[in-house]
A and B are shown apart, each in its own frame.
Chain A
């Protein structure tokens, strides 16, 4: 099992290391965007698919990471790369701060509560001159970056984030902590009754999920060199995460990857190949969503893996004796 994980990670690293030398500028930019969206989708998946908390407000963490990066780069007058680690920290801090009141809300109330929280933060940021108000912020220290390597560097950072999100989730869910968090998702009262600290587990997952979105959000706006509150707090961030995870397969690690590929393939085909307007792209997304929900309500990956018996990143624990019987098929 570990051998397969390590070889998967190594193959991904080699692929992403070489990609910028093969791909054109446009393709590289597209893949960077896709990897960042994949990172966010995995983080949303961690919260909704593994911890049972459906968030409609994750755009607030995307924005928190982006604002942390832009403000810190300007204040410290250093290259934005150096302050990139502050982005996940800022998002994590915000999440930890708001977790206490939000966790008093259950199910749909949580979903709406975090959306409202996001809107409150968006309003504060839009009104405050410190954060550039409605005009937003330019990236003041962009000249400190080597612009020849700008696109490849962002692609590499995005690759690291997507890989860390996916492999990290795999390891996390296979760990004892993962067992605890999935038990909380399935039934929180029963989880307490078998000794799981429900609130603590939810808090940890919520903070990790926010941090990942903060990092990906920061890199996304770093590539724009400009940050506006309207785009940072755009609800379409969370809508895209949700679409990708739900269509691909919620509570699976392969699902968001498939969802991301489908999401960008549709966009490229509809707006690129067919040359239709953005409106038709949304129509296509909606149709695919309806079709998928009718055919396989749990998303594409569970249906595909059941049909062809595929399992790449299963987090299911095997009982020792049963695992022993399975061994010849595994490696």
Chain B
């Protein structure tokens, strides 16, 4: 298998608060790593460290065999990191097509017709093609979420980072989005932060549990979801404690 991402001993503190505590994990092509943990566990911080919006205090991030720990965010995007933000971050005064075209052009490194074709392809894949000419600022939530995913895909990434992309959507919307993500999964390495267990179970190959910036557990989805440790973190007690 091809290793895409290698995170080793990543640590970051804001004052006395540790948001990443000696985190290490690897990710291979075609693999989806689900990340769960309570609010404030450091899930989004982990993504910010990987994309370079936050600098780690120590540790290394290796993408496709080269160290990107010191690289600025736009250069990491060009190296092949596509990110869908938790709170959608469209370019509101640009059209949906231009939003995706920007990702294909700058992160994807494509130009003219090649960029346009890649953008159209992604729009079709994410069911946004009919809305290509609309301003992104006027889209409803489901389409904003789709646009986040579309921008990440158009970046021609090796690694896709999804931050609660299914949060706030209705059940049928979650099902559709999950289907799209599952459909393209084989071509990328993926990290998916999500609070919706069945969405993760359907797509993720492994699940990483974070709490206070530490890795509590890493393993197969069923195993992790059913473990007493996860129940204790989420609900304050494990099934065993009650019984």
Q: How far is A197 from B91 in the complex, measured between Cα atoms in Å?
A: 16
Report A190 CB to chain B, min CB distance, Å: 4
Q: How far is A306 from B106 in the complex, measured between Cα atoms in Å?
A: 31
Q: Which residue of B lies closest to A190 (CB)?
A: B89
Interface centre among B78, B102, B116, B154 (most CB of A within 10 A): B102
Report B68 CB to chain A, min CB distance, Å: 13
Please name all residues of chain B whose beta carbon is closer than 8 Å to the beta carbon of A316 when the two chains form the complex: 95, 98
A183 lies within 8 A of chain B by Cβ = yes
Q: Which residue of A lies closest to B155 (CB)?
A: A194
Say whether A187 contacts B89, CB under 8 Å.
Answer: yes
**Stretch from B17-25, B117-125, B209-217, B233-241 at the A interface:** B117-125
Q: How far is A194 from B152 in the complex, measured between Cα atoms in Å?
A: 8
Q: Which of A179, A189, A198 contacts B105 (CB 8 A)?
A: A179
Interface size of B by Cβ–Cβ distance < 8 Å? 40
B72-100 vs A, CB cutoff 8 Å, 1 = contact: the mask equals: 11110110000101000111111101110
B133 lies within 8 A of chain A by Cβ = yes
Say whether B94 contacts A189, CB under 8 Å.
Answer: no
> Which residues of chain A (158-181) have a CB below 8 Å from chain B?
176, 179-180
Report A191 CB to chain B, min CB distance, Å: 8
| Given A317-B101, A319-B123, A319-B132, also A190-B90 (CB < 8 A) | yes
Please name all residues of chain A whose beta carbon is closer than 8 Å to the beta carbon of B101 when the two chains form the complex: 179, 317
A185 lies within 8 A of chain B by Cβ = yes
Please name all residues of chain B whose beta carbon is closer than 8 Å to the beta carbon of A319 when the two chains form the complex: 97, 116, 119-120, 123, 132-133
Please name all residues of chain A whose beta carbon is closer than 8 Å to the beta carbon of B74 when the two chains form the complex: 191-193, 195-198
Report B92 CB to chain A, min CB distance, Å: 6
Report B156 CB to chain A, min CB distance, Å: 10
Say whether A176 contacts B111, CB under 8 Å.
Answer: yes
Please name all residues of chain B whose beta carbon is closer than 8 Å to the beta carbon of A185 when the two chains form the complex: 93
Residue numbers of B with Cβ under 8 A of A are 51, 53, 72-75, 77-78, 83, 85, 89-95, 97-99, 101-103, 105-109, 111, 113, 116-117, 119-120, 123, 132-133, 151, 154-155
Residue numbers of A with Cβ under 8 A of B are 176, 179-180, 182-183, 185-187, 189-198, 251, 316-322
